[in-house]
Amino acid sequence: MTDTDFYEPLPFYETSTKYGHLLELGYENLTVFENPDYDSAIIGITQDNRVVYDYERMIEHLMETDHMSYMDAMEFIDYNTLRALPYFGEGAPLVMYGI
């Protein structure tokens, strides 16, 4: 008996981004952050096809890609990203805060 007797292995993905993986899995019309994309902060998708981001990973993304300090990244996200969420309308991405 092998492990594959219990599950179907996931296929290899051609794209290198999490957003690309979601598209390859057949998710369409997703609303995602674009500038910055926070791709490394995507942690899942809801049943109603809303992309879920992890707040701490969003901070880490800005620290790595834009060389911001922790506080600068947090302020950028709070002011520029989270305040824009109401303008996304239905299907807006969700931001999860860890406990």
Total of domains in the chain: 1
- Specify the 3-state DSSP secondary structure of 50: coil
For residue 91, tell me if it sits in a domain.
yes
Per-residue pLDDT of 18-60, as tens digits, reads 888 888 888 888 999 999 999 999 999 999 999 999 999 999 9
For residue 39, tell me if it sits in a domain.
yes
* Residue range of the domain that includes 90: 29-96
Question: What's the pTM value of the predicted model, to 2 decimals?
Answer: 0.81
Shortest CA distance to 50 belongs to which of 35, 33, 74? 33
For residue 61, tell me if it sits in a domain.
yes
Per-residue pLDDT of 52-80, as tens digits, reads 999 999 999 999 999 999 999 999 999 99
For residue 43, tell me if it sits in a domain.
yes
For residue 1, tell me if it sits in a domain.
no
